[in-house]
Structure 1
Amino acid sequence: MRTAISRSTRATAVLASGLQTALPALAGVVVLPFLVLLLPFAPSVTKPVRVLARLERERVGGYLGFPLPEAAHAEGGGKLRAARDPATWRDLLWTVTHGLGGTFLGLLGIALWPAIVASATIPLYWWLFPPETFTGMLVVIRTWPEALTLPLLQAALYAAMVVWLVPLIARGQLWLARTLLGPNETELLAQQIERLTATRAEALESHGAELRRIERDLHDGIQAQLVAVSVRLGLAARALSAEPGNPATELVKDARTGIEDSLGNLRSIIRGIYPPILADRGLAGAVHALAGGQRIPVTVRVPDDLPRPPAAIEAAAYFVVAESLTNVTKHSTAKHAEVVVEGDGHSLRVTVHDDGQGGADTDSGSGLSGIRHRVAALDGTARIDSPVNAGTTIEVHLPCG
């Protein structure tokens, strides 16, 4: 019983608070025909409706426990955009529905509580009125048997309405606002895609900055320290060489050799994380350097005004070119290759073509599948076309946020 009363009280509070927006909406119903007529010529006439709808979303979100997002309104299209905007028409439909229904139901939800008390107390004072003249709300009281039964039945009816009908009406009011004023499934999906796109761009920027930091720390920190240690070991080996037969000489030489091997491995790791040449010369310079280091002629076409992509995208494009040219040199028997890099700031396209024997297997776990995986991790696409005896073309599209 206590739970039912609590639920009914909360539902009544929902309907009562709805009057804050229902009464202004009811006033708007009067001028709504004029708004509809002016809508194609003056879209700004809907601003009061949108303000009222925003207040309703805030109210409903408080009861739902989560903020109710705004439906996406059409942008552009001139003055006719508002007339063609489904969200605007849903706002207007909510204005009519909530203005009429919300006002009536809100007043009804409030009035039922005192109606229960008034009906239950009718037997205490009905006899003070002249005979056959007292009307107990929905019933006429003429005799004591009627006074002791009909008002109590009426009070029970009102109580039943409070317990079962009012919560149902309150849920309906919240559902109506959520359906008409919130985004539909298509709009929710579009908003989610927009959020994912924004967070993805932020993640790429953060990832790129982290790559550059790691590369810088390894290059300027650990690598420099290992070089210093190698130099000291070299000096120690030279000093010990003046003492023939000293067993420490070979140990120092072995240690220096190990340090130099570690330096070589560290440089490979640095190039694998974020090649220093990208930071120094950018993607265009790095691609030209890659092409110049091949055993076959490689033509590079990169526009001078190519917008610089995020670091993670730039590194991925570099590795695509590096892996592709490595495959060309090792497997294709090609005599010439071409690298084309194009971009507009929103996406980057890298194309590597050779005139080799073709027939590359993209499903054998080779470097080509590695290109696919690296590109897919950045939400890009890779197309590999390698017909037999017709060369191989690798085309990669990378989004730049």
Structure 2
Amino acid sequence: MDINTKSSGGSSRAQGMLRAAGRGFVLAVVSLPAAVLCFTLSLVSLALIPIGIGLFTTPWVLKGVRVWAERRRAVAAAWGGVRIPSAYRPEPEDANPWTRTFALLRDPATWRDLRWLPVDMTAGFVTALLPAVLVLFPLEGFALPLGLWRVYAETEGGAYWYGFVPVEDQTSAFGAAALGAVVLIIAHRYAVSAFQAHFRLTRAVLMPSQAELAERVRVLTETRRDAVDASAAELRRIERDLHDGAQARLVAMGMDLGTVEALLDKDPEKARRLLARTRQSSAEALAELRDLVRGIHPPVLAERGLGDAVRALALRTPTPTEVTVELEDGRADAPVESAAYFAVSEVLTNAVKHSGADRIWIDLHHSDGRLRISVTDDGKGGAAVGAGSGLAGVERRLGTFDGVLAVSSPAGGPTMVTMEIPCALS
């Protein structure tokens, strides 16, 4: 029993060593060019800000840096069990390049990412590659006594140095193999720890300060409170609509049916007229109930997902609306889908009521762990958050899920409302 346990533990450690070596090699090979590219583009883009070009390129470059940093956070959690929270400020609502650029530059997380890139290119590269070196280096030492030293002697014309061992003959080749065995023992013991050191280094540089985390918690607390208030208001609206609409009609129908029952023998003609009116009231009450249920959670959203629900919403919109959906990877969580659906519904309602548009375009797609929705119309423009357009409510709804809202609506149009919600598809 003890022998089996020790054997199992040794096998597990060997597997961990090989896994750390393989993953570390992949991470080193991929991360070095990516970090160099991100860092170079960032420096060039920032240098071009004074002449104006950088105002347009910097938001895209910094967003790419954020995406790369977020992916590395995900790798740290999946491969190293090291969780690194992010504390990025929401992107500005104004789509003006000047505003977006300097809002990103005022975010401490932006500069933290830029400081991390040179660290990842140097110390990060070394710590990621070290487990692979510890595992692969002994293989050469083991090959030297098998005749590899002769090949080196013929090509080098002298002693070949394996580490600190000069290999000149078979005896020194066995000494190199002994050194390789020592290195392999070290790899067996410390390769996983060396790989963990890479992720701890990444966390040390990318970890936000306590002040930033406290601010993030404050913002999330406010958005959650807004969501609770919105849910309570929605519940009161449903109760009011039931009481003043469908319930009142049903009560009136009951009274009319009682009158019909009393008139059947005395005045059949009047009874028929009352029955016809009651039938009309029942149809209206049914329509009100359907609208109310659709406002709570449309069946098509639960059954067929966000894409088809938005298409159905577009079909009911009086303004011609085109919908493009790219969500082939699956579906978001139900609360996210519901929030996105009602956000699109509110934006569409605003466009129909206030923009004077002849056409509306809706685009839904998911990339880089974010659901992105844009609603564009060719109307008169002038839309803004907090201007009585209902966009403030959409912003609060999205904020519940850490989402953001951006509005570009110059005078004369067109208007583009962009919504992003961090989520995964399944």
TM category, shorter: 0.3 to 0.5
- Return the TM-score normalized by structure 2: 0.40
TM-score by length of 1: 0.42
